[in-house]
Amino acid sequence: MLLKEKLDRESESEYRMQLYAVDGATDAMTGTAMVTVHVSDVNDNRPRFSKPLYDVFVMENTPPGTVVVILEAFDADDGDNGVIDFQFAVSTLESESSQVFSVNSSTGQIVVKVTTLASHSRRTSLIPHQSVSTSSP
Ligand SMILES: [Ca+2]
Ligand SMILES: [Ca+2]
């Protein structure tokens, strides 16, 4: 059997076929077999945020532990290839923002870390960072 089209597990993960084997007699006899082809996943989709920019407003007296935003991302791949891990970009880790906020890598919640936001900037724009990279095909 040869492959005639490009496979894509995300659109079709399984193909079923019925096959005959026919003998050469005039009153030909046949045998049958079923073939199922399972398409295994390749990491060919990058995680995508539900939106590229989250603009969030918080009061300066917001207590520590408060969730200010929940990031949402989706990856069409299967298993580990589709697992999403939220992380701050290196540039953010080096900035004041990471002293004030933390991100839960699995839930995508950004939480206030400090007692008071008053001495810090009152408005922070969070630009999502693609934490999982894929090599282009
Ligand atoms: Ca895939
Ligand atoms: Ca993926």
In-domain check, residue 1: no
User: How many angstroms is it from 54 CA to the middle of ligand 2?
Assistant: 22
- Tens-place pLDDT, residues 61-90: 899 999 999 999 999 999 999 999 999 999
Whole-number Å distance, alpha carbon 35 to ligand 2 midpoint, is 28
**Could you list the residue range(s) of the whole structural domain that residue 112 is in?**
48-126
| Gap from CA of 50 to ligand 2 centroid (Å) | 15
pLDDT digits (tens, 9 = 90+) for 24-66: 999 999 999 999 999 999 999 999 999 999 999 999 889 999 9
* Long-range contacts at 124-128 (CB < 8 A, ≥ 24 apart): 124/56, 124/97, 124/100, 125/53, 125/54, 125/55, 125/56, 126/53, 126/54, 126/56, 126/69, 126/71, 127/52, 127/53, 127/89, 128/49, 128/52, 128/53, 128/54, 128/71, 128/73
Whether 59 is covered by a domain: the verdict is yes
Q: 127 pLDDT band (50/70/90 cuts)?
A: low
Ligand at minimal distance from the CA of 7 is 1
Q: How far apart are CA 24 and CA 89, in angstroms?
A: 68
Mean pLDDT of the chain: 88
Instruction: Examine the pLDDT at 124 and tell me if it is beyond 70.
Output: no
Q: CATH number, domain at 105? A: 2.60.40.60
Q: Domain for residue 2, yes or no?
A: no
Q: Is the full-model pTM beyond 0.75? A: no
Residue 89 within any structural domain of the chain = yes
State the total domains in the chain: 1
